[in-house]
Homo-oligomer: A and B are copies of this chain.
Amino acid sequence: MTPPHQKHFHTSNPEEATAINRSLPEFAAAQTTDEDEYFANHQPPTYLPEIEEEVRGFVAFHQQTTGKRLALVTSGGTTVPLENNTVRFIDNFSAGTRGATSAEYFLENGYAVIFLHREFSLLPYSRHFSHSTNCFLDYMTERDNKIEIDPKYSAEMLKVYRKYNEAQDSNSLLLIPYTTVNQYLYTLKTISEALKIYQNKAVFYLAAAVSDFFIPQSRMPQHKIQSSATTDGELVIRLAAVPKFLSRLVDNWSLGAMIISFKLETDNNLLIKKAKSALERYHHQLVIGNLLQTRKKEVVFVSPGREEWIRLSDEEIANGKEIESEMIPAVIKHHDDWIQASK
């Protein structure tokens, strides 16, 4: 049963994954650190033109009609195929909670949102009910030979449903999926260029967990790796560094937009240091740092010369308060300042 509104880019379809890197030497530029060379040597996803058209239409609509500010929210992990016919891949831990939740608060604060997300990761609004044991059958009940929402849940569902519909009806939320790191990078570049006309009214909220490493095509077997083909039962995987795209994003792809990157660490001692060095390296506006273990309780905003912590009390967490409800208004203050400063 195909649901309505469902996009069919098949980003996680193995044939598509193969199509992406079958013919061209996709990863030939493995050793290079030059982002341009990456794109020169890597094949774009076959569906990219469709996405570009959708995004350009969405951006033009809001520029001409609503005048809303626009947030590009990236969310979820990226995959790195280990084989050309993708059976195995390396993934990053991310359900997409940060991105999906943040997107809702951007929308509630009057922004239009392009949600560039890992396919099947959490989505705004449906996140409240998805990733449950049985998706939604557990929320249903039968009465008089008709299926309906269990009254226990209908009130809260209606609330979420209305917000979701409001976002749909006002054409304020555009969902764009990806699966592999190559799909992510190409789509990010395409969206960024489509956003240039939005200048400083656009904010890039880069919450996706992007792989730092990938497998060069030249080293990738066509078929599933056979255990027997390995020496003394061992398998050695050599990964090359994914070129850093943030500098190119800041310098070329975007035009005056405010750019926010995320640092997810597990070692408290590294967090601030790495957030600051990212800021120095890429000259963008804001790094949001968080630890895997405490990311739902506290985050730190690191901007030039400033460190702001946002923390929830145990009581607030117990009451179901989401830290994004404080993060996004704080982000928007930074965006206000950025727009002022760039006048």
Contacts and interface: CB of A to CB of B under 8 A. Distances in A.
A95 to B, nearest CB: 8
Contacts of A266: 83, 85, 87, 222-224
A162 interface: yes
A241 B236 contact: no
B138 A6 contact: yes
Contacts of A248: none
Contacts of A142: 158, 161-162, 165
Contact of A139 (B3, B85, B148): B3
Contact of A5 (B14, B87, B138, B154): B138
A87 B82 contact: no
Contact of A234 (B128, B138, B240, B270): B240
A136 B147 contact: no
Contacts of A3: 129, 132-134, 138-139
Interface string A130-167: 11111111111010011111000110111011101100
A292 B222 CA distance: 13
B146 A154 contact: yes
A211 B4 CA distance: 35
Given A15-B293, A224-B267, A237-B239, A209 B1 contact: no
A279 interface: no
A86 B93 contact: yes
A236 B233 contact: no
Nearest to A233: B241
Contacts of A240: 233-234
B93 A87 contact: yes
A55 interface: no
Interface string A220-253: 0011111100100111111111000000000000
B129 A33 contact: no
A51 to B, nearest CB: 14
B125 A137 contact: yes
Contacts of A139: 3, 136
A229 to B, nearest CB: 11
Nearest to A131: B120
A313 B99 CA distance: 42
A-B interface, 10 closest residue pairs, ranked by CB to CB distance from nearest: A233-B241, A136-B136, A85-B266, A130-B135, A3-B132, A126-B135, A235-B239, A6-B133, A147-B158, A126-B134
Interface of A: 1-7, 12, 14-15, 31, 33, 79, 82-83, 85-93, 95, 120, 123, 125-126, 128-140, 142, 145-149, 153-154, 156-158, 160-162, 164-165, 175, 209, 211-213, 222-227, 230, 233-241, 264-267, 270, 292-293
11 contacts: A3-B139, A4-B138, A5-B133, A82-B90, A90-B90, A120-B131, A126-B137, A213-B235, A223-B270, A224-B265, A234-B241
